Amino acid sequence: MKFLAARRRNPIVATLLLIGALTVVGGGYAAIASIQPANAAITVGSETQVEAGKKLYLEGCSSCHGLAAQGTETGPSLIGVGAAGVAFQVSTGRMPLAAPGAQAPARDRALYTDEETSQMAAYIASLAPGPAIPTAEQYDPTNADAALGGELFRINCSQCHQAAGQGGALTQGKYAPNLMQSRPKTIYMAMLTGPQNMPVFGDATLNSEDKQHIIKYITTLQTLPNPGGLSLGRIGPVTEGVFLVTAVFAVLLAAAVWIGIKSR
């Protein structure tokens, strides 16, 4: 005690206390925030998937998508979107939509568990035929060819998602998202269902193998090193120009000033 008390006016104390306080508050928040949100208790044991899904749907989705999934002014019809459509939107956290806007943004984590998602998917799939949730055999890219995938990616995907999958702007505030965190199953479902303004790439035009090649290319991009150094976002001239006029010129101008000023 005497040791600490004697040093209580040391200038470093304030800094250490601040760091400590921030750690406690920040860590506490992170711990609390990582707790899964509690959902309304659903008794599943005695109900089928479809019925459970219907219950979840009515609670969380029908206000925008209609009581029979027929669509309203605020949400499109879900008839025919299939299990894959639901699974994509819910598992990426896009649905339920927090607020209307140009586009539904993905969330870091879904608001429904995998079980609940499958139930809702089963319900919507029961209303009308639509794309089914792909099996691992369909979306697993292990044996696919990244080079061929790159070709297909540049033909079909890069005009919206950018050549390196960094995403791109669409009209009126919409966007094609960055693909660097996307997982194979999600990518497959996106291509299959054409969420929001993304076109539908059905299995008749791009079959499972083609889609696997594309997924392989995307996952390759995700783990690809940056052989040139700092990547600057992999989008090319814009960030290179910004880096030039800020960092590079800062160094060169500093050198010029150093040369010019008189030495003491």
Partner 1 sequence: MSTPSHVERAGGATATYVDKRMGSNKFLARNLGKVFPDHWSFMLGEIALYSFIVVLLTGVFLTLWFKPSMVEVVYDGSYVPLKGIKMSEAYASAMNISFDIRGGMLLRQMHHWAALIFVAAMAVHMFRVFFTGAFRKPREFNWLIGVALTGLALLAGFSGYSLPDDLLSGTGLQIARGIMQAAPIIGTWMAFLLFGGEFPGTDFISRLYSVHILLIPGLILALVTAHLMLVWTQKHTQFPGPGRTNDNVVGYPLMPIYMAKAGGFFFIVFGVIGLVGGLVTINPIWLFGPFTPDQVSAGSQPDWYIGFLDGALRVMPNWESSFWGITISWNIMIPAMILPGIIFTVLALYPFIESWVTGDTREHNLLDRPRNAPVRTGIGMMAITFYCLLWIGGANDIIAQAFDLSINAITWFLRVALFVFPPIVFIVTKRICLGLQRKDRDKLLHGYESGRVLRLPHGEFIEVHEPLPVKDLAVITSKTDHVPLPEPQATDADGVRNPKFRSQSWRHKLSTFFYADNVTMPSAEEIEAGQHHAAHDAALEAPLHEYEDADELRRLHGGVLHHPGMAETNAEQLAENREH
Partner 2 sequence: MTEISSPDHDQQVALGHSPVADVPHKLRATDTDPKMAKRAERQVASMFLLSVLFVVLFVAAYVAIDPSLTIYIPVIGETSAINIALGITFGASVFLIGAGAIQWAKKLMPDVEVVQYRHDQVSPADDTAEAEANYERGKEESGFARFKMIRRTMIAAMVLFPIPLIVLLKDLWVPTPAEEGKSPAEILSTTLWTKGSRIVSDGTYKPIKPEDLPVGGLINAVPADLPEVQEAQGNLNARGKAAIILVRMQPDEIRAQQGDGWDYQGILAYSKICTHVGCPISLYEQRTHHLLCPCHQSTFDLADAGNVVFGPAARRMPQLPIGVDAEGYLVATSDFAEPVGPSFWERG
Greatest distance between any 2 Cα atoms in the chain: 86
* Site of interaction with partner 1 (CB under 8 A): 102, 146-151, 154-155, 158-164, 166-169, 171-173, 175-176, 217, 220-221, 224, 226-232, 234-241, 243-245, 248-249, 251-253, 255-257, 259-261
Backbone angles phi, psi at 201, to 5 degrees: -110, 85
Q: Which of residues 125-154 bind partner 2 (CB under 8 A)?
A: 151-152
Note whether 132 and 84 are within 8 A (CB): yes
Distance of CA 227 to the CA centre of its chain: 25
Q: Which is nearer to partner 2, 205 or 246 (CB)?
A: 205
Query: Quick one: what does residue 77 bind among partner 2, partner 1, none, with the CB cut-off 5 to 8 Å set by partner type?
Result: none
Structure tokens at 5: 């008390």
Q: How far apart are CA 201 and CA 190, in angstroms?
A: 9
Q: Cis omega before residue 225 (within 30°)?
A: no
Residue 14 or 251 with smaller CB distance to partner 2: 251
Residues 189-218 that bind partner 2 (CB under 8 A): 194, 196-202, 204-206, 210
For residue 39, give the 3-state DSSP assignment.
coil
CA distances for 152 relative to 18, 67, 83, 120, 142, angstroms: 53, 40, 26, 32, 17
Contact string 213-242 vs partner 2 (x = CB under 8 A): ------------xxxxxxx-----------
Are 86 and 53 in contact, with CB atoms under 8 Å apart?
A: no
CB of 263 to partner 2, least distance (A): 4
Report the nearest approach of partner 1 to the CB of residue 213 (Å): 11
- Nearer residue to partner 2 within complex by CB, 36 or 263: 263
List interacting residues with partner 2 (CB under 8 A). Answer: 151-152, 155-156, 159-160, 168, 170-171, 174, 194, 196-202, 204-206, 210, 225-231, 258-259, 262-264
